[in-house]
Amino acid sequence: MPTNPSSTISAILEREFPQIRVTSVHPLDKGYTSKQWVADTDRGRLLVKVPQRERDPEHLRRLMAAAQVAAEHGIPVVRYRQLVPHEPAVDGPLVIQEFQEGDAAGDVWEALGPEQRLTLVRDLGDVVGRLHAIKGPHYGDVLGGTSAPTLRQAVEAEVEALLPQADLTLIGDADALRTAVGAALARLNDAANVPALTHGDLWLPNFLVRDGRISCVLDFEHALYADRFRDFGKLDEHLFDGFADGREVFLEAYASACPLPDDHRERISLAHFLHALAMHAYFLRWTPQWAPQYAEQAKAWLVRQA
């Protein structure tokens, strides 16, 4: 970044939106994978995000497209204003969106009492259920760049992509893993294999809260049309493993918006494994000290299948 990033961001906004006047820009210390700035303008506040890890503009186009699909079905999401595929001043892409007022649910969670937490979890079940009620034409990304016609093909392709990135000495034999995944897929009811819009990164920091209620779903950068229970891996790990009392409340609200199939427990089990394998590969690349815990989870699932 230049020596005065806020001035640079202001100049970019004035170039992209010559009809607005920028009154101030300040950095926002939020997010894990991007640098962010909030701009006050005479047309409202804007948020500028500069990705630090995933810098492919096609990735950002998929993010914006997924959020648009969600918005068209009544999910409260951010409105994206502009994608700059390559901005020389930041040596990469940036995205400009409306700024949403509110607190990240992850920031307020610890201060909430039990009833307030249950209210938030009930809201969460409703909004996630409504999101998962959105059906897709295929398995894969919203723009169709990667797609598969069946759940089996989608999951097997995901596993094959993750295996070379994983340390299988910590998990188990690749062929045994493939066999276990195939057997788990065979146990599912084909009639319930329907691609749904999944968020791909469901945990409390990706929800905004106003007045104790969920007001906005953030960051669809990992969204896919997938088996909807694929979203339960991260959600269970980061929320319900530490708040077991809320899980039934969540599921009740979720099922009211998107009824549960009879084999939902088997689907959730498979989703937990896929989450563990994906997180193991991810952290092996970025923060290796966290990778072994996910390898243990994947290995434990493999042992249970045997």
List, for residues 211-240, the tens digit of each pLDDT value: 999 999 999 989 999 999 999 999 999 999
Does residue 6 lie within any of the structural domains? no
DSSP reduced 3-state for 306: coil
How far apart (Å, rounded) are the C-alpha atoms in residues 186 and 243? 32
Number of domains in the chain: 2
Instruction: State the average pLDDT over residues 163-168.
Output: 98
Does residue 293 lie within any of the structural domains? yes
Residue 288's pLDDT band, with cuts at 50, 70 and 90, is very high
Q: Looking at the structure, tell me whether residues 26 and 112 fall in a common domain.
A: no
Does residue 152 lie within any of the structural domains? yes
**Can you give the pLDDT at residue 52?**
87
Q: Looking at the structure, tell me whether residues 86 and 214 fall in a common domain.
A: no
Asked if residue 1 has pLDDT above 70, the reply is: no
Could you give the angle at the alpha carbon of 25 between the alpha carbons of 21 and 31, nearest 5°? 130
Residue 143's pLDDT band, with cuts at 50, 70 and 90, is very high
Does residue 239 lie within any of the structural domains? yes
Q: Looking at the structure, tell me whether residues 62 and 146 fall in a common domain.
A: no
Q: What is the pLDDT of residues 172-181, one digit of tens each?
A: 999 999 999 9
Q: What is the CATH number for 216?
A: 3.90.1200.10
**Can you give the pLDDT at residue 2?**
59
Q: Looking at the structure, tell me whether residues 223 and 180 fall in a common domain.
A: yes
Does residue 5 lie within any of the structural domains? no
Beta carbons within 8 Å of 5's beta carbon, 6+ residues apart:
27, 35, 37
Chain-centroid distance, C-alpha 28 = 20
Long-range contacts, 183-187 (Cβ 8 Å, 24+): 183/305, 184/266, 184/269, 184/270, 184/273, 184/305, 185/151, 185/152, 185/155, 185/156, 185/270, 187/263, 187/266
How far apart (Å, rounded) are the C-alpha atoms in residues 303 and 177? 10
Does residue 167 lie within any of the structural domains? yes
Q: Looking at the structure, tell me whether residues 156 and 258 fall in a common domain.
A: yes
Quote the domain boundaries for residue 108. 103-305
Residue whose C-alpha is closest to residue 115's, from 212, 204, 236, 210: 212
Q: Looking at the structure, tell me whether residues 117 and 194 fall in a common domain.
A: yes
Q: Looking at the structure, tell me whether residues 73 and 157 fall in a common domain.
A: no
- Quote the mean pLDDT of the chain: 95
End residue of a domain, out of 50, 82, 98: 98
Instruction: State the average pLDDT over residues 268-293.
Output: 97
Does residue 2 lie within any of the structural domains? no
Q: Looking at the structure, tell me whether residues 83 and 198 fall in a common domain.
A: no
Q: What is the CATH number for 70?
A: 3.30.200.20
End residue of a domain, out of 98, 129, 154: 98
Q: Looking at the structure, tell me whether residues 79 and 163 fall in a common domain.
A: no
pTM for the whole structure: 0.93
Share of the chain above pLDDT 70, in %: 98
Q: Looking at the structure, tell me whether residues 67 and 159 fall in a common domain.
A: no
Does residue 81 lie within any of the structural domains? yes
Q: Looking at the structure, tell me whether residues 177 and 124 fall in a common domain.
A: yes
Q: Looking at the structure, tell me whether residues 198 and 224 fall in a common domain.
A: yes
End residue of a domain, out of 98, 126, 153: 98
